[in-house]
Structure 1
Amino acid sequence: MRYIKFRQNGEIHTALVTSQEEVYIIQEENYTDFYYKLQESNRTANQYLKDGNIQKTDLSFDDLELTLPTIPDEVWAAGVTYQKSREARNFETKKEDEKDLTFYDLVYDAKRPEIFFKSTARRIIGPNSDVYIRSDSNWQIPEPELTLIVGKKEDIIGYTLGNDMSCRDIEGENPLYLPQAKVWKNSGSIGPAILMPEGIEDPYSIDITCKIYRNNELKFEGTAYVNQLKRKLDELVHYLVYDNDILEGTALMTGTCIVPPNDFTLQDGDTIEISSEKIGILRNSVKAQEQMILIHY
């Protein structure tokens, strides 16, 4: 079962979508509250629909104007959690003749994972909105990631897709520039739906595909599975909440295993599609911001 929000006639509606893509409109505006409401009554989403005598609509899921399924107060992210990400980070930073281990090599095998702050509610966008590229970067890519919705304590209460937009040249120049390489206006998106835990027996079986189009031509395509993740999802959540003040409904991007070729960078007008068979398609257009004048002190 998936939880979605969509716009119709200027209003936002909430719905549940079955694996057969049947759409049921419900009056549950907050996903976290809805999840724990089911938990407290020991019901599944299917039982909720049956108990409430909620009838399926004639709406087509593919035709809905989907919006953010939830608006997390904060979005966090984990880095270097896949071998492919480790290789990409090393390419950005290593000189050709450098043989020593980098801090990316070290964090990949370390007990403590890399966890960093990615976004706030007012910066994150949903499906069918524009992601922005930085005007001071010449090497930018999307990072398709399974994104967890975190509930009370260390509960994983949902799964969605995320796009952790990244500037490879800025991070590669100096690791202390990570916040600037990761955080700017519209630098991340999540959606299009929240896959409820009851709808997936093994989250490590989730597939993720990324396609990038330019002038309606496919420029890049890659596919990965969450079972390629170096760490466990529970482990990432544990380090996120450890001694931290995390609100229920916080989103955690879990890292990427899909990286475009090293000579690729996003351009204004590109379209990014991040998809999963069980979650849906997170589609965003790419927009260039007005270039700002950098003052060197």
Structure 2
Amino acid sequence: MSIQIVRYASAGDVGIGLRDGDTATVRALAAPSLAALLREGRAALREAVESPGEVVPDARLLPPVDGLTEVWAAGVTYLRSSQARQEESQVADVYSRVYDASRPELFFKSPAWRVCGDGEPIGVRVDSDIDVPEPELGLVCDARGDLIGLTVCDDVSSRSIEGENPLYLPQAKIYSGSCALGPGIVPIWQLPDPAALDIAVTVLRDGAPAWSGRTSTARMRRGFDELIEYLFRQATFPDGVILSTGTGLVPDLDFSLAPDDEVVIEIEGVGRLANPVRRATDEAFAWLTPAPDRRPA
């Protein structure tokens, strides 16, 4: 497996490191934050990656996003997503028109401090009847809009809330535990063809698969450059941005995530992201703060 740029906690300190995908060894990088690398751009990122330091003992991985870096997402970029949104929605033609339109659907997903990492809980809303994982490839862009890395994203969503009215999209998409990223960032130069990566998801319930699916980024209707160009129109991201590219895997309407499920997403060459499911109550996600020592061990 390829190397990954990660955030980690070790002995009470937070740092940036380079993780070997085969051995899970983390070596420290000379960077104060991921946001600093995204401010500097691809050359600074490559320089840091090519000069790793000492091995970090007992490194615990944190979400690969910090500072003022934002997470955004694209919708209806796969035919399956368009079909699923039309099935659930009381205004179905909105989604068919978005799929065919020249302008993509883009929406804010999460600030850095609200993102969950690999192994950390994700949440389902208590006021929603149908909640699903949305396994997606995340594009890591620097402040100039250059694509410099890839990560795995789970754009957890309420189908019932969005289906009731498309204007409820922010409530269906933005809440405690609704965004997971990780386990790290794979530099873009390591993947020769990121536009044709296999994506797989499995939801485990009592240890057995309750739902699973597989697709490929080759089935996306829109290209990465197009999505990035629209995101950076009339907007600046001084600490860079992570753009999740939409999902091609949506279960039937008779399936919903349940507390104690585990969602496992694997993207070829990028990594494996696994998260247990909890109800998104204030108590259950009180740990979700900028302070790394508040995160569960």
TM value normalised by structure 1: 0.84
- Distance in 2 between the 1:289 and 1:19 partners? 31
1:172 aligned residue (144, 149, 163): 163
CA 1:78–1:146 in 2, change beyond 3 Å: closer, same or farther? same
SS at match of 2:204: strand
Change (3 A) 1:40 1:134: closer
Structure 1 window deviating more from structure 2 (252-261 vs 241-250): it is 241-250
Q: Which amino acid aligns with 1:127?
A: D
Q: State how far apart, in whole Å, the 1-side matches of 2:22 and 2:111 are.
A: 33
Q: Does 2:31 match 1:28?
A: yes
Task: Give the Å deviation of 1:162.
Answer: 0.7
How many Å apart are 1:218 and its aligned residue? 1.5
- Structure 1 residue 15: Cα displacement: 2.0
3-state DSSP class of the match of 2:113?
coil
Given the superposition, is the C-alpha separation of residues 201 and 174 from structure 1 closer, same or farther in structure 2, using an over 3 Å criterion?
same
- State the distance in 2 between where 1:83 and 1:152 align: 31
Q: Which has the larger radius of gyration?
A: 1
C-alpha displacement of 1:285: 1.1
2:9 counterpart residue number: 7
Partner residue, 2:235: 244
Give, in angstroms, the shift of residue 246 of structure 1.
2.4
Tell me the CA shift for residue 94 of structure 1.
5.4
Are the aligned partners of 1:38 and 1:45 in contact in 2 as well (CA < 8 Å)?
A: no
CA distance in 2, matches of 1:20, 1:130: 24
Q: CA RMSD in A?
A: 2.6
- Structure 2 regions of 5+ residues with no counterpart? 283-297
Query: Partners of 2:8 and 2:48 in 1: how far apart?
Result: 22
1:230 is paired with a residue whose SS is coil
Identity among equivalent positions (%) equals 35
Picking from 171, 184, 200, the partner of 2:191 is 200
Cα displacement (A) at 1:134: 0.7
Partner Cα separation in structure 1 for residue 281 and residue 211 of structure 2: 26
Please tell me whether residue 263 in structure 1 is matched to residue 263 in structure 2: no
* CA distance in structure 1 between the partners assigned to 2:45 and 2:222 by the alignment: 33
Matches within 5 A, 1:53-64: 54=53, 57=55
Question: Does 1:66 find its partner at 2:61?
Answer: yes
Quote the residue 1:294 is aligned against. none
Specify which of 78, 84, 88 is matched with residue 88 of structure 1. Answer: 84
What does residue 49 of structure 2 align with? 45
- Give the Å deviation of 1:286: 0.8
Deviates more, 1:280-289 or 1:82-91: 280-289
Match of 1:77 in 2: 73
Q: Secondary structure at the match of 1:108?
A: helix
Q: 1:28 to 1:221 in 2, by over 3 A?
A: same
Q: Secondary structure at the match of 1:169?
A: helix
CA-to-partner distance for each residue in 1:180-229, whole Å, 9 max, x for gaps? 11111121111111010121111112222111111112111212211111
Q: Which residue identity is paired with 1:91?
A: E
Q: Which residue of 2 aligns with 1:153?
A: 144
- DSSP-derived class of the 2:81 partner: helix
Q: Verify the 8 A CA contact 1:150 1:248 in the aligned structure 2.
A: no
Q: What displacement does 1:256 show? A: 0.3
Residue 175 of structure 1 and its aligned partner are, at CA, apart by 0.8
Change (3 A) 1:121 1:41: closer
Runs of 4+ deviating beyond 6 Å: none
Helix, strand or coil: the match of 1:204? coil
Specify every segment of 5 or more residues in structure 1 that has no aligned partner in the other structure, as ranges: 96-100, 292-297
Residue identity in the other structure for 2:60: E
Which string of whole-angstrom CA distances, capped at 9 and with x for unpartnered residues, describes residues 234-275 of structure 1? 100111110113233211111001112221101111111112
Residue in 2 that maps onto 1:124: 115
Equivalent in 88, 94, 106 of residue 97 of structure 2: 106
Whole-Å separation in 1 of the counterparts to 2:41 and 2:221? 33
In structure 1, the residue matched to 2:177 is 186
Contact 2:8–2:61 under 8 Å retained in 1: yes
Q: Is the 8 A contact 1:78 1:115 kept in 2?
A: yes
Aligned to 2:272: 281
Q: How far off is 1:128 after superposition?
A: 1.5
* Deviation per residue, 1:64-122 (Å, 9 max, x gap): 63211222532111000001101100110259xxxxx7121111111100011111223
- Quick one: which amino acid aligns to residue 75 of structure 1? V
Distance in 2 (CA, whole Å) between partners of 1:249 and 1:41 is 12
The 3 A distance-change label for structure 1 pair 153 and 260 is same
Distance 1:12 1:290, change over 3 A: closer
How many residue pairs end up in the alignment? 278
Q: Distance in 2 between matches of 1:227 and 1:147?
A: 15
